[in-house]
């Protein structure tokens, strides 16, 4: 043990490494939800989509022996649930909160039900170890190197998505349409933008990323599935989007903050600090509330947030 245990190398590697990994499901879901919310749709169903992605990803990876198929399954399940959400909220224009909670309740029941049907009371663990991609030179940087540049492929993918999605939202005509549809759907419609199409596109992007995030949680970060394992991560992702004010870079910082709080438990265990586990487990949720109060009070939501749009109706 070194004289200052807080600065010990093991602590840093564990803390940063697990933080980055733990924040990846959140980051993916929050990046997608950034688009969904910008276009004026609140998708409370992403909690359910993440859970379904976790379940589908785990089952497919277990039966095919391939993580890649598991991730693809997560994406497709996310797309399918987003399609149902879009049909109800965009096409039919019914209450987004009701639909989102409905999707979440359905996903919670359905995944537990199917898991029991498939595995009974057994809890299988994925035999394939998550394949890490070690980037040669960079991984040798002391402290950070081993943590940041020795990660799963999906972690790099989610990091690469941040600038891409930022440019797409703030530097392209598609991004302009997304924001216009969220702020003033009537004007956007008058300007020739297909409001329903843009919202569908954002919802599907959000669904795909939340599904992938859920799959990563089950088969990338961990290697098993348990009932309701997302533990509110979808809802935290929604809060992170509000904290990040629809800016993918700030959304990343928010996700990382919660990754840090979530992985504090493993970091503190390395240090040998003895804190009641319940206090560590509740930390991310307390952090959400505190961060919202400090950063996001009176955040201006997109003007048409949560409202359905139908031509000819106010």
Partner 1 sequence: MPQMRRYVPAINSVLAILAALATGGIILLMVGLDPVKAYYELFSRGMATHLGITETIIKMAPILMVSAGLILAFKAGLWNIGTDGQFLMGAIVVGWAAPSLVGTLPHGVALLVLGLLGFLGGLLWAVIPAVLKAKYGLNEIITTLMMNFVGLNVTTWLVKGPLKDRTVVPPQTPVIPLEGRLPHIPLTRIHIGLIAGIICLIAIYLLIKRTTFGFHLRVLGENRKAAIHWNINVNRVTILVLLISGGLAGLAGANDVLGIKGLFQAEWNPGYGFAAIPLVCLANLNALAVFPLAYFFSFLTVGGELMSRAAGVPVFFVHVIEGLMFLYFAAGEYFQKEMG
Q: Which residues bind partner 1 (CB under 8 A)?
A: 44, 84, 88, 92-95, 97-99, 101-110, 112-114, 116-117, 227, 231-232, 235-236, 238-239, 242, 276, 278-279, 281-282, 285-286, 288-289, 292-293, 296-298
Cα 249 to Cα 116, 255, 283, 285, distances in angstroms? 40, 10, 23, 21
Whose Cβ is closer to partner 1: residue 87's or residue 143's?
87
Nearest distance from residue 101's CB to partner 1, in Å?
6
Nearest Cα residue to 60 out of 169, 209, 211, 189: 211
Nearest distance from residue 76's CB to partner 1, in Å?
18
Nearest distance from residue 4's CB to partner 1, in Å?
30
Nearest distance from residue 278's CB to partner 1, in Å?
4
Whose Cβ is closer to partner 1: residue 117's or residue 129's?
117
Whose Cβ is closer to partner 1: residue 98's or residue 128's?
98
Measured CA to CA, the distance from residue 55 to residue 70 in angstroms comes to 9
Whose Cβ is closer to partner 1: residue 137's or residue 300's?
300
Phi-psi region of 133 (alpha: psi -120 to 50; beta: other; left: phi over 0): beta
Nearest distance from residue 97's CB to partner 1, in Å?
6
Whose Cβ is closer to partner 1: residue 64's or residue 95's?
95
Place of tokens 């690469």: 160
Whose Cβ is closer to partner 1: residue 149's or residue 258's?
258
Nearest distance from residue 192's CB to partner 1, in Å?
26
DSSP bridge pairs for 133: 151
Nearest distance from residue 105's CB to partner 1, in Å?
4
Phi-psi region of 232 (alpha: psi -120 to 50; beta: other; left: phi over 0): left
DSSP bridge pairs for 150: 134
DSSP bridge pairs for 206: none
Nearest distance from residue 217's CB to partner 1, in Å?
16
Whose Cβ is closer to partner 1: residue 116's or residue 134's?
116
Whose Cβ is closer to partner 1: residue 118's or residue 271's?
118
Residue 293 neighbours by CB distance under 10 Å: 9
């Amino acid at each position: 043990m070194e004289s200052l245990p807080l600065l010990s190398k093991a602590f840093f590697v564990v803390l940063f490494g697990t933080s980055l990994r733990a924040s990846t499901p959140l980051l993916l879901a929050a990046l997608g939800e950034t688009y969904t919310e910008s276009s004026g749709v609140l998708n409370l169903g992403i909690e359910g989509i993440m859970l379904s992605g976790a379940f589908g990803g785990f089952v497919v990876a277990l039966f095919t022996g391939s993580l890649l198929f598991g991730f693809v399954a997560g994406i497709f399940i996310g797309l399918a649930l987003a399609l149902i959400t879009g049909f109800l909220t965009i096409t039919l224009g019914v209450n987004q909160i009701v639909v989102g909670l409905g999707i979440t309740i359905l996903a919670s029941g359905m995944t537990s039900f199917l898991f029991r049907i498939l595995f009974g009371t057994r809890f299988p663990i994925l035999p394939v170890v998550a394949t890490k991609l070690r980037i040669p030179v960079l991984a040798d940087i002391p402290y950070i190197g081993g943590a940041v540049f020795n990660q799963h492929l999906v972690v790099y993918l989610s990091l690469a998505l941040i600038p891409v999605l930022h440019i797409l939202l703030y530097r392209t005509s598609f991004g302009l349409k997304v924001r216009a549809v969220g702020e003033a759907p009537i004007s956007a419609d008058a300007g020739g933008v297909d409001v329903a199409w843009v919202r569908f596109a954002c919802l599907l992007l959000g669904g795909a990323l939340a599904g992938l995030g859920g799959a990563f949680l089950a088969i990338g970060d961990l290697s098993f599935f348990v009932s309701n394992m997302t533990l509110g991560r979808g809802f935290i992702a929604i809060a992170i989007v509000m904290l990040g004010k629809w800016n993918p870079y700030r959304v990343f910082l928010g996700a990382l903050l919660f990754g840090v709080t979530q992985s504090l438990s493993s970091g503190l265990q390395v240090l040998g600090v003895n804190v009641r586990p319940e206090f560590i487990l509740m930390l991310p949720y307390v952090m959400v509330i505190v961060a919202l109060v400090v950063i996001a009070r009176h955040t201006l939501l997109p003007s048409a947030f949560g409202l359905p749009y139908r031509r000819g109706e106010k």
